[in-house]
Chain A
Amino acid sequence: MFHWLEKNPFFFAVGVFVVIAFAGLIEILPNFAEASRPVAGLKPYTVLQLAGKEVYKKDNCIACHSQLIRPFKSETDRYGQYSLSGEYAYDRPFLWGSKRTGPDLHRVGNYRTTDWHENHMWDPTSVVPQSIMPAYKHMFKNIADIDTAYAEAVTVKAVFKTPYDAPNGTPLGTVDEARAAALEEAKAITADMKNQDVKDAVAAGKIPEIVALIAYLNRLK
């Protein structure tokens, strides 16, 4: 009964495939619909926040920071309420990370301010003297890619029905409206910042990466 399996490369390959595909099907499919349901009141990211998420990805913050608070007292004491599946419904990709060289950031918006992030990204040791995190000064110069973030929002709205432009939700509008809205949001953030180059850039209609990143980090609550 097993001879044909060992001799015929085609049947062999099919056999291997069935055995390995089985686990994937069982583990992933059953939960698919349920796990993508958002918690009540969850709003999609604004375009500026999405651009900030891109900065977070570009500089690969997940290499050292998690966004997953586990249900232990020591973690909820340190970081706040443990994470719920529905809170990640609009996270594409998920950014849980796998290593905490630095602390968890899932609710960092609750206890860190714009001002703190600005100092920290410019020079981490200025706020945490023993920090081993590198400074990210280039974020103060590089300009965030608002158009790509808008394109992402349009894509998830069209394909995954992410509720942009819903009543009381996150507005999206046309690309020009989105650019203007992002700039307004950026101006509100730079009001709390002190770096003159960043302020000048925003006044001139350009949004440095640091502003988008702070918008994203402040949103993590």
Chain B
Amino acid sequence: MAEPVLAVEDLRTHFFTQDGVTRAVDGLNFTVGAGETLGIVGESGCGKSVTALSVMRLLPAGLGRTVGGKVLFGGRDLLQLDEAQMRRIRGDRIAMIFQEPMTSLNPVLSVGEQIAESVMIHQGKTKAEAWARAAEMLALVRIADAERRVKDYPHQFSGGMRQRVMIAIALSCHPQLLIADEPTTALDVTIQAQILKLMIELKSRIGAAILLITHDLGVVAETCQRVVVMYAGRKVEEASVLDLFDRPLHPYTRGLMASIPRHRRAGPPPRRLQEIPGIVPNLRDPIAGCAFAPRCPLATARCTAEAPSLRSAGTHSVACWEVTP
């Protein structure tokens, strides 16, 4: 594989609260290749979003801190950069799309201003050039009558259109990496499909790689080439999309797959939907052994004593004692 755009090595992000240290991300490794779409999936609180914020260095000040690891982007470790260098990367080389299109745009600034802003910051364009670029970007994300609508304010756009505006902002400087944190969670299913399609299409046009963070395996199946499954701040499985859906290995991944409702035209009435028993462990307590062991149907004494390391066969790797890749 060619040089990856982003390589995260042994990332450890901890939150320091009054009640103790929460290990939100604990030794995470992954890479995103040029032009690739990598999905990170997992349930709430498994460290997906914290991973994204760690890469962008946008953790809430005073609470969260990346205490170890490397985030290599274009050969540089982002964790070693100073704030000014980091600002030059944010929005220019790495852009981010957030979950809530309704609140991710400033209600008192027109969308044109918000798109033009990062163009002006990063590309040193004049105001007129930046506004022209804003209209161009709006047209690119298929907002009708873009020339006129750049002057409109966010409340004049629907949720799906606002997410298109967010994409326009994110792509306005042609980033190498786009981090999308649950970009479609707040949208209707039909709009979700449109937005995902648009993202993938523009990605290949611009040549960006995407780090897609989601809890929705359906979204992953539609858009990603590779998937990282996270549980309790660690990677439990990594595979190509086809491999993962064909042959999920980790009991957690299998549990996730089993809990997706399926359509069936004929045949027996649907069985009761499977759920994964138990709850996510408290990340404040040190986890001995495998974090998933208390909920795992395959767990043995070894699982609760010793943490499984990641073993791989080809491109498929899994952290479990009981299954072999």
Are A and B a genuine interacting pair, yes or no?
no
